[in-house]
Structure 1
Amino acid sequence: MKIVVYMPALNEELTIAGVLNSLPKSICGFQKMQMLVVNDGSVDSTEIIAKECGATVINHTRNKGVGGAFQSAVEFALQNKADVLVSIDADGQFDVNQIPNLVEPIIYKKADFTIGNRFDKGKPTDMPKIKYWGNKKVSNMVSFVSDTEILDASCGFRAYSRECLLSLNLQGQFTYTHETILDLLNKGFKVSQVSVDVKYFEERVSRVANSITKYALKTSSIIFKCLKDYKPLQFFLTIALIVLILGMLLGSFVLWHWVFEGKITPYKSFGFIALALCGMSVFIATLAFLADMLNRIRINQEKILVLMKRRYYD
């Protein structure tokens, strides 16, 4: 059994040595352990320090975001025959001694991937209230889309089995945290949520959530796309139903006016709009069934892709 502990790094020369040197030298259940740093366009000494600490370094010539860094880590883990990939931040926020707790459900086949839960004891000390509120709202959205209660969808302290890594097919570069949950749960993998400790430093600015507005918009976009891709029938039929209800309400008003007034003037235009809305709802419903058919094709293609990956990497 081999485990790869990975961290994305962007100008982390002040903290990365402390994190790498504090990592456990061995983890129960694994004969081999490898440290991986994805240097995501740093302009400081992050790469040099990471190599001095014994880590393998993958360099991005430009900043690709944590989503792009994670995809590089997945590729590396598969190529190097890792059985488990652990992701942890390079800024020292998380307790590296909790890695065994994080991988335990995977080792004992109780889960396929695990997510750290920072909120098991409520709001962490020094975490801004707006970020705590935002994280809870995002977790609620992910829970709704995945039909699974997710307590901390944005936590970057996680572990994945090899089967999960082979099955992941991500599109986003901004962040991977929410898309991986939705993708893996949609494919039938089991998740375990492990309580983890976290420290917040007032002087540090999050790479992902440095702008709450930008983070909210991009995160919502990722979740929205996942909902459209994974549940196209429900997604488009819901829109069709809403449009149909609007058309029926508008048409009912025109009909009521005609029954009691004997004419539809001055609401003739409302009648045409109602007919257009009803026709649009039929069109959207047709799109729903087409999207559902394409979704079944996508699922079969991803199954074929997993078989090809397994043959290529193993």
Structure 2
Amino acid sequence: MTADNKNATLVYMPALNEATTIVEVIQSITSLENLGVLKVLVVDDGSDDNTSQLAQKAGAMIIKHQSNKGVGAAFQTAIGFAIDNDYGTFVSIDADGQFKSSEIQKLIEPIKNKLSDFVLGIRFENGRPLNMSKVKYYGNKLVNGIISKISGNKILDASCGFRAYSSEALLHLNLHGNFTYTHETILDLLDKNLVIEQVPISVTYFPDRESRVAGNILTYGKRTSRIIFKCYKDYAPFYFFFNIGLFFLFISILLGGFVLKNWIKTGSISPYKSFGIVALAFFGIFFLFLILALIGDMLSRIRRNQERMLYSLKKKMK
């Protein structure tokens, strides 16, 4: 650890069998000028080619996972390294050359100027990028809407991996997903009232190259949905459980209203007695979800207090 790292930027990239592109990407980063001290960290997430050797020869620092753990786990490895070595700014970028290294300056400038705690790249400033499938494009739009709803902020590209963080943002992060980290990171930092900025960036999609994360859109959608589901439960527990309860309340009101109308009209609930029983049962389920919502909200407050203590502990250990 050196004091110089406080003014340095660590550029991190996850890599899985990226031997054909990683040297070019590293060289494009290390050749950048007027950005102060730039250092490159490659987290090799279980490659079975010579990605690590080539990256090291190109001047990058290497951390290698012995097996593939997922980009979320690779990201957590990288932020642990950045915190331990006291880097002032942290940038994540892909190892396949999708993003332009020259645009790193756009991401770190708001952080260097103390205007933002973390900066997201936006790929969709001019609509759907060339060669990006419609399924992925509209899938991203859907995810953006969900993350915006949960966080209470308009998020324009929740899934983009090209982004920058201040050292304070890294200290605040507490993540749990191994498959991906992009959505959880946004929710976690916004939940702690850190300042976000979003800037347009360029992206190139290669039609003959399969995404390491989203090669199978169904698998990606399933895993991402599970992460978003967990994030919604963790970061907005009251609304999560209460909204589920509202479904049962709605059915209860419909059935109960129907039985009540029949009773007013005929003076009897027959032959709809079973409807009334189901209505009462559904109302009971709604009440249970309401209790879960209140308990979840209480536990969320406890979690926030624990994370504040964890932040203070990380700060003291630096």
* Cα distance between partner residues in 2 of 1:76 and 1:203: 33
Give the TM-score normalised by the residue count of structure 2.
0.95
* 1:195 aligned partner, one-letter code: P
User: What's the secondary structure of 2:292's corresponding residue?
Assistant: helix
Find 1:11's aligned residue among 17, 20, 26.
17
C-alpha root-mean-square deviation of aligned residues, in Å? 1.3
* Cα distance between partner residues in 2 of 1:25 and 1:16: 14
Unaligned runs of 5+ in 1: none
Q: Partner of 2:64 in structure 1? A: 59
Contact 1:16 1:50 in 2 (8 A): yes
Matched, 1:307 2:296: no
User: What's the secondary structure of 1:255's corresponding residue?
Assistant: helix
Deviation readout 1:259-285 (Å, 9 max, x if unpaired): 223332222111111111111211211
Deviation readout 1:98-117 (Å, 9 max, x if unpaired): 10111001011111001111
Matched, 1:118 2:128: no
Contact 1:24 1:97 in 2 (8 A): no
Q: Which moved more, 1:13-22 or 1:118-127?
A: 118-127
Q: Partner of 2:160 in structure 1? A: 155
* 1:9 aligned partner, one-letter code: A
Contact 2:175 2:181 in 1 (8 A): yes
Count of residue pairs the alignment pairs up: 312
1:24-173 matched pairs, under 5 angstroms: 24-25=30-31, 28=34, 30=36, 32-173=37-178
User: What's the secondary structure of 1:284's corresponding residue?
Assistant: helix
* Cα distance between partner residues in 2 of 1:50 and 1:23: 12
Q: Partner of 2:4 in structure 1? A: none
Contact 1:27 1:100 in 2 (8 A): no
Contact 2:30 2:39 in 1 (8 A): no
* Cα distance between partner residues in 1 of 2:268 and 2:22: 77
Give how far 1:27 is off: 5.4
User: What's the secondary structure of 2:193's corresponding residue?
Assistant: coil
Q: Partner of 1:266 in structure 2? A: 271
Unaligned runs of 5+ in 2: 1-6
User: What's the secondary structure of 2:198's corresponding residue?
Assistant: strand
Give how far 1:249 is off: 1.4
* 1:56 aligned partner, one-letter code: M
Matched, 1:205 2:219: no
Contact 2:256 2:276 in 1 (8 A): yes
Give how far 1:24 is off: 3.9
Matched, 1:2 2:8: yes
User: What's the secondary structure of 1:200's corresponding residue?
Assistant: coil
Give how far 1:176 is off: 0.4
* Cα distance between partner residues in 2 of 1:83 and 1:27: 18
Contact 2:32 2:102 in 1 (8 A): no
